[in-house]
Amino acid sequence: MRVRPWRNRQISAMQGHHARKRFGQNFLVDASYVSRIVAAIAPQPDDSMVEIGPGTGILTTELARVVKQLHVIEIDRDLAAHLRLKYREGGVVVHEGDVLETDLRKFRAPLRVVGNLPYNVSTPILFRVAEAADRLQDAVFMLQKEVVERMVAKPDTSDYGRLSVMLQYRFAMALAVRVPPGAFTPPPKVDSAVVRMEPLGPKRTRARDEDFFAQVVAAAFSQRRKTLRNATRALVAKEAYEATGIDAGRRGETLSVAEFVALADAATPAR
């Protein structure tokens, strides 16, 4: 099979660098999917944009053609050095470090966050990004397809769970692009997908105590086969179910985000 010259150049750029399992590295190399991801992001010149996990810079290069100043966060020191050299004359600012230890609030708002997230730590990164939701314009990420399906899942479906509720509490989300393993090197063992996340804004439904809300959601999904009555026994009294009209015999996967908020508010301990 004939390989595109563009793909050859990208593979050549990675010579001497082996994908590191501890960083969950799988490098996108298919130009057609890069184009589709860039189209989903729709970058603009004055965007305040951060790319997580730029790797060898395949997406970075395309974004930097449009965005005047692009910040990238790369945990791999060898790749970070490569990126600094590659973009030494341009508007790309390389931050070497772990995004889980990076305060996204230090970047200018409204912030756009994009990237091919390492699949082994994608959920912690999503929760980290969610912490800065009030400063975001949007986020566009490529992740394992199964994770994206959980993120966008509707109540009363097998994919709906804690991740669905906690992200949909802050974001409207949609699956934008499906990406097969062959678009990467080395090819991952799973399909990938691109998700768009848009903050719901200040008028969204908010829990009175967000930490307690998160505890209730976590408890509800801790054992999916349990009823809410049994799963949340340590947090939610029967009076809270009576006050909200929510049947304690239901399972957590059947509750909407708004119902979880109502239940948590009714059960919130007095301060």
Confidence of residue 271 (pLDDT cuts 50, 70, 90): low
Give the per-residue pLDDT at 25.
Answer: 55
pLDDT: which is higher, 240 or 2: 240
Tell me if 40 is assigned to some domain: yes
Range of the structural domain that residue 135 is part of? 5-199
pLDDT in tens, 134-163: 999 999 999 999 999 999 999 999 999 999
Average pLDDT in the chain: 90
Same-domain status, 190 and 233:
no
Same-domain status, 37 and 81:
yes
Same-domain status, 128 and 225:
no
Please say which residue of 199, 219, 250 terminates a domain.
199
Low-confidence winner among 11-20, 97-106, 166-175, 182-191 (lowest mean pLDDT):
11-20
Give how far Cα 13 sits from Cα of 10, 65, 79, 83, 162, Å.
5, 19, 11, 11, 39
Strand duo 111-116 + 136-144: pairing: parallel
Confidence of residue 192 (pLDDT cuts 50, 70, 90): very high
pLDDT: which is higher, 20 or 69: 69
Please say which residue of 176, 199, 222 terminates a domain.
199
Full-model pTM: 0.87
Give the per-residue pLDDT at 118.
Answer: 84
Q: What percent of the chain has pLDDT over 70?
A: 90
Tell me if 204 is assigned to some domain: no
Give the per-residue pLDDT at 188.
Answer: 84
Same-domain status, 11 and 134:
yes
Stretch 40-63: mean pLDDT, rounded?
A: 96
Give the per-residue pLDDT at 269.
Answer: 85
Domain containing 141 — which CATH number?
3.40.50.150
Give the per-residue pLDDT at 119.
Answer: 82
Measured from the Cβ of residue 7, the count of other Cβ atoms closer than 10 Å reads 16
Measured from the Cβ of residue 240, the count of other Cβ atoms closer than 10 Å reads 20
pLDDT in tens, 34-43: 999 999 999 9
Same-domain status, 49 and 159:
yes
Low-confidence winner among 26-35, 100-109, 138-147 (lowest mean pLDDT):
26-35
Q: Is the pLDDT of residue 32 over 60?
A: yes
Rg of the chain on CA atoms, in Å: 21
